[in-house]
Structure 1
Amino acid sequence: MPSGSTIQDPTKEEGITLFKAIEHKFPSEALGDDTWYLVTLAALVGGGQTDFAPTLYTYLISRPKFSTTESRRSLLRRLRETLVKLVSIIGVCRPLEAVFLIDGVTGEDDRDYSFSREGWQADEKNLQRGKEWFEKIYRPKDLKQVNHTFAAQKDFEWITNNLTYGLYLSDRSIINDLETELVVLTGIMIQNLPRETGWHLRGSRRIGVGKEDLETVHQCIEMVADFCGLSLGKLPRVGDIEHEV
């Protein structure tokens, strides 16, 4: 690259082309018609292209299925819940920026004032709810090394149990089990983290995502990574972890 040259950000038109390509490729028949855009949003935000969050939103609401105020509010709740869950995976700043950007293109009548975690407490009920979801993703045989590490990292054990799973991931009232796990997987994959990607490829298979469908999701995330100028070369494929499922 010549000295002093800069990398140009993708254009809005290129973003829309990406959305169309992912929607066409995504295994929606198996995973649901409204799952592809959650994976796309998670990958864009985790990959540093938060400017395309409102582009995705306006692309979606141009469709007849989102022609009513209530349908748009429902969509906003789903996008917001995806971003809330991403806080536990990638940190708060990028999801927060995406929230502000989406809000900036949201019609006043479409704004949704619901509060999904109002009254939340870090109590025994929360801990149990997090544990139940955690045990859908992991098995006791998976946790020997994790527990060995947590024995000397109590802060991270507490965060995992009470916040990551208790507060964020075990609430599946807005996006369902499958969508939640795919959002988590996407947020991890886009950071090129092989260990945690393997865990959640395995977890996705355990909650019922088919092997071929999961490979296709992986390819869709790679499409977003290319769009963001990122390499995901460290990651395992679903075939690499299939024996652990």
Structure 2
Amino acid sequence: MAEISSEVLSLFRSVQETFPSKSLGDGRWFLVALAALTGGGKPELAADLYLYLIQEQERSNPESRQVLTRRLREALVKCVSIIGVCRPLEAIFCIDKVQRPVDKDYSFSRENWKCDEANYERGTAWLHRIYSHNIGPIDEKFQAHKDFGWISRNITYGLYLSDHTILNDIETELVVLAGIMIQNLHHETAWHLRGSRRVGMSSEDVEAVQQCIEVVAKFANINLDKIPHVADIEHEV
């Protein structure tokens, strides 16, 4: 097994300790770390994260490692919609390189996906849950940019983000928030700070998650000087 550097180990432990595990669950911190590292230009560290996670006693057998792989892979699949394909692809290939053959998972989560009316309705429903009454101005902009409106409902939300068979609603929003915030995007970060509150996270939990992302940003030498905090959007929730 490859050795994880002390700096990377310190990073993982810092994120794990900062994450609000008591309220959001211990098995979710690594989703934030994975999305932030991948979006922040450190996709190769997905392999180190995998090796770190399989050292835990509950992941000592192939079945538990396959479950972990599905969760990591699903997080990276969702990241494609907010980061692009290349960095998530690099991350999953790096994970694959350090896996034992017996620990690999060969399931195919979207084998039967169709871009049909049901997909559109599912994507639209999740879009409205995140944006609620704030969707109007965005839809108005889409009138002059219909390709993006179509992509948002059918692909970003229909194909990627409304699929909660592996990662549930809160886990999905953790991935999205981390993947967006690490890119230092003001408006989109604000939307998903708000969205995180709307799917049931407390303001304290969202702030703690942001601190996790800031830990990764500092490690990756990324300046997050454009992003708001949950207190800035709380009046909109």
User: TM-score, normalised on structure 1?
Assistant: 0.94
Q: Equivalents in 1 of 2:129, 2:65: separation in Å?
A: 31
Identity over aligned pairs, percent:
58
Matched ranges for 1:105-124 at <5 A: 105-124=98-117
Q: Equivalents in 2 of 1:90, 1:58: separation in Å?
A: 24
Q: Equivalents in 1 of 2:60, 2:153: separation in Å?
A: 40
Tell me if 1:78 matches 2:61: no
Q: Equivalents in 1 of 2:114, 2:7: separation in Å?
A: 43
Kept after mapping to 2: 8 A contact 1:188/1:197: yes
Deviation at 1:118, TM superposition (A): 0.4
Task: Quote the residue 1:206 is aligned against.
Answer: 198
Q: Equivalents in 1 of 2:118, 2:188: separation in Å?
A: 26
Tell me if 1:42 matches 2:35: yes
Aligned pair count?
234
**Which among 128, 138, 146 is matched to residue 146 of structure 1?**
138
Task: Quote the residue 1:54 is aligned against.
Answer: 47
Kept after mapping to 1: 8 A contact 2:37/2:216: yes
Matched ranges for 1:1-245 at <5 A: 12-140=5-133, 142-245=134-237
What does the per-residue CA deviation read over 1:133-187, in whole Å, with 9 as the maximum and x for residues that have no partner?
A: 11211113x1232112100000000000100000000001101110101100111
Task: Quote the residue 1:6 is aligned against.
Answer: none
Deviation at 1:227, TM superposition (A): 0.5
Letter in 2 for 1:60: L
Deviation at 1:44, TM superposition (A): 0.3
Letter in 1 for 2:130: I
Q: Equivalents in 2 of 1:197, 1:116: separation in Å?
A: 28
What does the per-residue CA deviation read over 1:185-207, in whole Å, with 9 as the maximum and x for residues that have no partner?
A: 11110000010111000010011
Letter in 2 for 1:88: S
Larger-gyration structure (1/2): 1
Q: Unaligned regions of 5+ residues in structure 1, if any? A: 1-10
User: TM-score, normalised on structure 2?
Assistant: 0.97
